[in-house]
């Protein structure tokens, strides 16, 4: 029996965008719902080393993964470096649907000062992040502060 690769099926644009929005909302829910003291310590220490004041670092509030930022209507600026954390995500079945089984994986989180407002606001945008006004953000990358 030959090893056959699954071919990725192309989706219509509207369906693709809807699926990406759903993935972003799921990432946002996982980011805000999970709790890992070890990851919190890693995130705080790494961003403090990059010059962000400790009182401005709030894991799961203003330090999120890229899909979560996208769901909030923000995007990570090109060239920004994230902090690697270990996280859990659901395993997908053969149909591509999430199962109840979880596996560990790594993810990169970015501070709000490393993001900017998207040109097109996402649906259900969080009012806690209205735009580019942030007390720490002055246009320079976080590690140059």
Give me the pLDDT at residue 134, please: 45
**What is residue 102's predicted lDDT score, i.e. its pLDDT?**
84
Contacts of 40 (CB under 8 A, 6+ apart): 59
* Pairwise CA distance, residues 70 & 80, whole Å: 15
Distance CA 71, CA 48 (A): 26
pLDDT for 5 equals 64
* Average pLDDT for the chain: 78
- Alpha-carbon dihedral sign for residues 128, 130, 135, 140: positive
Mean pLDDT of 41-68: 89
Q: What is residue 132's predicted lDDT score, i.e. its pLDDT?
A: 42
Position 10 scores a pLDDT of 77
Q: What is the C-alpha separation between 134 and 136, in angstroms, rounded?
A: 5
Structure-model confidence comparison of residues 21 and 112, the more confident one:
112
Q: How many CA atoms lie within 13 A of 80 on its CB side?
A: 23
């Amino acid at each position: 029996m030959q090893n056959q690769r699954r071919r990725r099926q192309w989706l219509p644009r509207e369906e693709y965008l809807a699926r990406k929005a759903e993935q972003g909302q799921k990432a946002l829910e996982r980011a805000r719902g999970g709790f890992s003291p070890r990851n919190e310590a890693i995130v705080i220490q790494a961003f403090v080393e990059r010059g962000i004041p400790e009182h401005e670092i709030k894991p799961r509030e203003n330090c999120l993964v890229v899909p979560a930022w996208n769901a909030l209507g923000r995007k990570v600026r090109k060239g920004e470096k994230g902090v690697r954390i270990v996280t859990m995500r659901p395993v997908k079945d053969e149909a591509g649907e999430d199962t109840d089984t979880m596996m560990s994986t790594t993810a990169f989180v970015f501070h709000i000062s490393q993001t900017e407002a998207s040109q097109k606001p996402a649906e259900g945008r969080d009012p806690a992040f209205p735009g580019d006004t942030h007390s720490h953000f002055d246009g320079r990358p976080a590690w140059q502060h």
